[in-house]
Amino acid sequence: MIKNKNITILSHILVWFVLFSMPYLLSYGQEQDINRVIIHFWIPLALSAILFYLNFFVLIDKLLFTKKTIWFICINVICIALFIYSKETIENNFFQEIAKKRPSSGDNSGPPFKMFIYVQMVSYMAPLLFSIAIKTTQRWVKTENERKEAANFKLKSELQLLHYQLQPHFFFNSLNNIYALVDISPEQAKTSIHSLSKLMRYMLYETNEELVTLSKEIEFMKKYIDLMKLRVSDKTTVNYNFPSEETGIKIVPLLFISLIENAFKHGVSASKESKIKIEMSTRETSVLFTIKNNNFPKKTDDKSGSGIGIPNIKKRLQLLYPNKNSFSTFVKNNCFIAHLEIETK
């Protein structure tokens, strides 16, 4: 902020230095009449600078941007009239030789005096309009930055809400699975609780980061799958294939876990053969994830889970990977298939 302010001040000084140097830059090597330069160039330029900064720092903010346009116009007209009068007074009192050559209302040898005054008024309009243009641009940039900041804050709030939704949802489903093991296999239930504690540690501490390495997320998914496999019968086959090498890809955490949860919730039957197949591959900076499982829809009176898995994924993809994702789910040959592809760059 301080650096930008210093650059702005320096740029203003440089611009005015160049403007004041223009008579010498444009007539290099020619004889200069210093009095003519002062009265016809430096004094009007100094008065233009006063008009510019008066508007830039005071009048535009207090009058123009507060819809007091009439007051803004009147004050500027008065200032321009005073500046023209001041210039003429200085010229008459201190530069008599030049004043004699100034056109008057009774002098037909040059342009009319009214035209002379009109040209001066128009010349003062330049710094006035320039200050309005700069101030309006700054205000637009500030408004746009505030809008983007508000949008980013809204985005972070929505993502945080989705993240908080996901954790209880995950924990709730895991506890349901462990509860089913307590009477059947107490030892497996103990193992499951231990595995769940490791998973929750990852969710509580690792997923606070915006991005995690794909390898960490894969390790988390493997542990979760192993935890879920403890509660299914021998009639259920679970196969998964994840990239084994470090890819260097970073992704948003917990993006795929809801699909795996859904597969175990809706793709497993206690009495029928069930298959769950999970595949992930990478291609440069893209991640492709496909999960296929038997389709055993929940009964209408089954209230287990909250049903937020798929909507949660869609919302997170919309917020985190806009125009960089392809997500589809469909049922084919009594199998539910979910395909997700994201571009991480």
CA distance 221 to 279: 12
- Tell whether 276 and 299 lie within a shared domain: yes
Mean pLDDT of all residues in 42-51:
86
- Whether 130 is in a domain gets the answer yes
Residue 105 domain-assigned?
yes
Q: Are residues 134 and 41 in the same domain?
A: yes
Residue 33 lies in a domain: yes
Q: At 47, is the pLDDT very low, low, confident or very high (cuts 50, 70, 90)? A: confident
119, 222: one domain: no
* Average confidence (pLDDT) over 115-144: 83
Could you tell me if 313 and 258 are in contact, meaning their C-beta atoms sit under 8 angstroms apart?
yes
| Per-residue model confidence as pLDDT tens digits over 73-108 | 999 999 988 988 888 888 777 665 555 555 554 555
Of 96, 120, 148, the residue that ends a domain is: 148
Residue 241 has pLDDT above 80, yes or no: yes
Dump pLDDT digits (tens) for 149-202.
766 666 665 555 555 555 566 677 677 767 777 777 777 777 778 777 877 777
Find the helix or strand (DSSP H, E) in which 275 lies. Answer: strand 274-283
On average, the pLDDT of the chain sits at 78
Q: pLDDT-derived band of residue 306, with 50, 70 and 90 as boundaries?
A: very low
Q: Which long-range contacts (CB under 8 A, 24 or more apart) does 55-58 make?
A: 55/127, 55/128, 55/131, 55/132, 55/135, 56/131, 56/134, 56/135
- Residue bearing the bigger pLDDT, 87 or 36: 87
> Does residue 231 lie in a domain region?
yes
- One domain, residues 123 and 270: no
Please say if the pLDDT value at position 243 is more than 70: yes
According to the model, what pLDDT value does residue 75 have?
Answer: 93
Share of the chain above pLDDT 70, in %: 75
Last residue of a domain, one of 148, 173, 206: 148
Average pLDDT estimate for 41-68: 88
Percent pLDDT > 90 in the chain is: 17
Q: Give the CATH number for residue 223.
A: 3.30.565.10
Q: What is the reported pLDDT for 96?
A: 59
The pTM assigned to this predicted structure is 0.53
pLDDT reported for residue 195: 77
- 24 pLDDT band, cuts 50/70/90, is low
Mean pLDDT of 2-19: 73
Query: What was the pLDDT predicted at 288?
Result: 95
Q: Are residues 140 and 63 in the same domain?
A: yes
Is the pLDDT at 327 greater than 90, yes or no? yes
Instruction: Kindly state whether residues 134 and 226 are assigned to the same domain.
Output: no
Residue 153: inside a domain: no
Selection from 90, 100, 102, 80 nearest residue 38 by Cα = 90
* C-beta of residue 287 within 8 angstroms of C-beta of residue 324: no
Per-residue pLDDT tens for 119-131?
A: 777 788 888 888 8
User: Do 132 and 164 sit in the same domain of this protein?
Assistant: no
Q: Tell me, what's the pLDDT at 303?
A: 47
pLDDT surpasses 70 at 27: no
- Predicted confidence at residue 279, as pLDDT, reads 95
Residues 98, 170 within the same domain: no
Closest by alpha carbon to 340, among 226, 251, 224, 213? 251
Q: For position 189, what pLDDT does the model report?
A: 76
Domain extent at residue 63:
2-148
Smallest CA-to-CA distance from 255 within 191, 158, 300, 321 is with 321
Residue 298 pLDDT: 65
- Six token digits for residue 209: 């980061």
207's tokens: 């997923």
Q: Give yes or no for a contact between 264 and 307, defined as CB atoms under 8 angstroms apart.
A: no
Is residue 80 domain-shared with residue 128, that is, in the same domain?
yes
Task: List all residues 6 or more positions away from 250 whose beta carbon is below 8 Å from its beta carbon.
Answer: 211, 212, 213, 214, 344
Q: For residues 228 and 331, state if they share a domain.
A: yes
Nearest CA to 251 out of 198, 287, 199, 288 is that of: 287
**Is 29 within the bounds of a domain?**
yes
Are residues 135 and 218 located together in one domain of the fold?
no
Number of domains in the chain: 2
pLDDT classification of 305: cutoffs 50, 70, 90: very low
Q: What is the C-alpha to C-alpha distance for residues 97 and 172, in angstroms, rounded to an integer?
A: 95
What are 195's two structure tokens?
Answer: 């595995």
Taking residues 325-336, report their average pLDDT. 90
Domain end marker among 85, 113, 148: 148
CB 242 within 8 A of CB 218: yes
pLDDT top residue among 97 and 335: 335
Do 30 and 106 lie in one domain? The reply is yes
**DSSP secondary structure string, 2-57?**
HHHHHHHHHHHHHHHHHHHHHHHHHTTTS---HHHHIIIIIHHHHHHHHHHHHIII
